[in-house]
Amino acid sequence: MASVRKLLLALLFILPVLGLGIPAALAAERINALNAAPNPTFANKPVTFSVQGTGNCHFRLNFGDGTPPLTATVPLPYQPPTHSYPRSGT
């Protein structure tokens, strides 16, 4: 399994050097943007997040206020549940 992983990683670096593209199946899974609204936030008011991208992606969203992070593997784009912050800010 480790040798297959090494081969795939090598191909990802070698293909562009040779002028060849990365296979669509490998390039299709990526996060392009994370959006939050409103920005800045307001105390105890919900903030809506959206994760933009393509494919099925695994990510961890740390809200930065001490609450547990959200970890998910989902098809993108994805809109996680809203989150409220105890204080106003960015």
Measured CA to CA in angstroms, residue 64 lies from 49, 53, 85, 87 at distances of 14, 22, 9, 12
Closest by alpha carbon to 37, among 22, 48, 27, 28? 48
C-alpha span between 32 and 54 (Å, rounded): 8
**pLDDT band at residue 84 under the 50/70/90 scheme:** very high
**In the numeric block, which tokens belong to residue 20?**
């060849």
pTM of the model: 0.62
| pLDDT tens by residue, 39-67 | 888 999 999 999 999 998 888 889 888 99
